[in-house]
Amino acid sequence: MSQINPASPAALAAYSSASDEENATGSSFNDKVLDFFKQNQPEGTLNDVIDQLKQLAEPGEKISMQELNSAILIADGILRKDEEYKTYTDSTLDRMTTQMLGVNMFYNNMLYKSFTKTDDDASF
């Protein structure tokens, strides 16, 4: 099992408290996630990284599984184009992205079943 290397609380606070100028230029959650992966290259479990990513949101803002999934996919796609991050994307970020897609698919499947109250859908 890989060693967990979480970002420091100070680093998380710096990301989550964007200045007014950053907010005015439209610094999005996806941008914060990309910068976070660039600067920290976190290791460990998907759950640990998700907890860190949620701290990047504005105070009081709730981040959905779909938003997390999208942000991780975007970061993975952008970082893999940069040779500097190739090893990290291949060894760590791809694994997290695949796990996140699986979690998102499972979550959506459970929501679907809760609304339809059936397991008879052949598409699953």
C-alpha distances (whole Å) from 34 to each of 1, 5, 50 are 25, 17, 13
Residue 38 lies in a domain: yes
Instruction: Please determine, for residue 21, whether its predicted confidence score (pLDDT) is greater than 70.
Output: no
Q: How confident is the model at residue 116 (pLDDT cuts 50, 70, 90)?
A: confident
Please give the pLDDT value at position 19: 45
Domain that holds residue 109: 27-114
Cα–Cα distance for residue pair 76/39, rounded to 1 Å:
14
Q: Which residue has the tokens 């914060």?
A: 32
Residue 66 lies in a domain: yes
Choose between 13 and 46: higher pLDDT.
46
Instruction: Please determine, for residue 2, whether its predicted confidence score (pLDDT) is greater than 60.
Output: no
Q: How confident is the model at residue 124 (pLDDT cuts 50, 70, 90)?
A: low
Please state, rounded to an integer, the average pLDDT across all residues of the chain: 80
Single-letter amino acid code for the residue at 6: P
Instruction: Please determine, for residue 4, whether its predicted confidence score (pLDDT) is greater than 70.
Output: no
Cα–Cα distance for residue pair 116/80, rounded to 1 Å:
39
Residue 15 lies in a domain: no
Number of domains in the chain: 1
pLDDT per residue as tens digits for the range 52-62: 999 999 989 99
Residue 9 lies in a domain: no
